Amino acid sequence: MDFFFCLPVLFGCKTTVKPEGDQNPRVCPRCNNAAVIGAKTRNWFEICFVPLVPLSSKHIWTCTICNWQSPRGNGLWEPALPGFAPPPPAGYQPPGWQPAQYQQTPPGPSPYPSQYPPNNYYPPK
């Protein structure tokens, strides 16, 4: 009779994120904090929680606060530097990007009473 060892071997994949490249904080399009940094993600094939085999890697922007991520590379959209926030080019929206909600201010009370001065008011003769 063969001995059969049943070892609990756990396989899995794990993604590591390392800061990389431009470390000037950028403005996050999701949470609007200047907490977006350049980073590199790498997928690892791991056995028993030990990363053994490096799989694919990606260059990304990642927000250290809300974990927003976007692909990073030459020619790709990049998050704005603080204090300078142009809208992303039309036709491309990073994941999670929402157009800013500009509330239209209702026509409030004007500084002048609307009845004053009455344009077509002439004193009766």
Instruction: By CB under 5 A, name the binding residues for Zn ion.
Output: 28, 30-31, 63, 65-66, 68
CB of 32 to Zn ion, least distance (A): 7
- The residues with which 57 forms a beta bridge, in sequence order, are 42
Which of 65, 57, 67 shows the shortest CA–CA distance to 15? Answer: 57
Nearer to Zn ion, 28 or 39 (CB): 28
| Minimal distance, residue 57 CB to Zn ion, in Å | 22
Nearer to Zn ion, 65 or 85 (CB): 65
Closest CA to 22 of 8, 36, 12: 36
Residue closer to Zn ion, measured from CB, 74 or 98: 98
In the complex, least distance from residue 6 CB atom to Zn ion, rounded to whole angstroms: 45
- Percentages helix, strand, coil for the chain (3-state, rounded to 5) are 0, 35, 65
